[in-house]
Chains A and B, each alone.
Chain A
Amino acid sequence: MEHRAFSRILSEPRSVRWIWFVYLLLYAIAIPWYWPEGYIGPTLMGFPLWVAVTLSAIVGLACWTVFVIYFFWQTSEEEEA
């Protein structure tokens, strides 16, 4: 849709494609589809390896989201005030 208010948006995450490729990559790591069936693995910081990898990917996703919001969600100054 179109609206005059949208002219205040200087950048928004949805329109930057590579942001979503990084999300896709991090989600692909977080979702445990690539481990062998029935895998548990060694314990890392109290968690089975596959859970530790998933949790690390979630931390990565959260950090990435902060970066995206900070740098790619921008509106003109009057909105930010």
Chain B
Amino acid sequence: MSAHSTTEVAGSRPALEIPDPSMAPRTARASTPALELCGLSKTFTLGAGLFKRGRTLGAVSDVSLRIPRGQVMGLVGESGCGKSTLAKMLLGLTTPSDGDVLVDGKPLRGANQKALARHIQPIFQDPYSSLNPRKRIAQIVGLPLQVHGIGTSRERAARVAETLDVVGLPRRAADQFPGQLSGGQRQRVAIARALIMRPDIVICDEPTSALDVSVQAQILNLLLDLKAEFGLTYLFISHDLAVVEHLVDRVAVMYLGRIVEEGTREQIFGSPRHPYTRALLDSALTPEPGLGVPDIGLGDAMPDPSDPPSGCAFHPRCPKAQALCRQTRPRLEDIQGDNARVACHFA
């Protein structure tokens, strides 16, 4: 164990701080996961006014996850399942109502946003809204360096040019505005902005869902190359199961704010245990003619997150629901000897 982690065990865990402006690759410690979520929850208050109390909505409830260094964790689920709120908490955009996030073993709570920014960077879904239309590409990509006061303006320009090379953009893109680039090129700009600080962890929130399929492949290839080159850890949020299966090491499936199943890619895609995971996999339409559209047997009423069903949140749509499912919420339990977890009474 290195000296660093010893102090960590001995004393109170220090908040994030990175006194390392050189951005040299940090030494990896295999024991600590790059990112650990401990019982993370977020509740919102809806319809509250100046003098009125609103209803509470549990957007994310008690989510625990460990993402080992250099791995890709996929997070899948349908709209409104809380995956975007989860991403916002990891990025420090909203504070968790409960639980904590450990980045590199150190708690995020109370950490300063700038220090966090050097560890975690986002790639957002919509390359049209993720770049300020009134700024040039060089300003957008160089913004992190500028905000953190790294280098002289000449050094920053060199670093921007270098990063544009890394993401496969021509250097003359630096002087252009986002409106002059195609969707795929814009997403490369967003990736360049995320990588210029050399973060350890990148939160990819549906990074290809706004792109055409031919461009999607370019971006996925780029993400894979960058991961290999810089030893990045990804949290890859997507609803596209084919993409997730291609890219990830482990997968977590979310439904109505909770993780219902988590395991390795082979476990989730090969032998899913939760009926919701199974339904998701069945409804992914692979390009195989002749198979038709499967009957997945779910109702299409996504329950109201501010008024979740009793017991297992999935029971109103579950083809196998029993009386027990309506009364008791299944806990997310480890599957013995399998390094996987599932929350279902009948798994």
Q: Decide whether A and B assemble into one complex.
A: no
Residue ranges of B at the interface with A (Cβ–Cβ < 8 Å): none
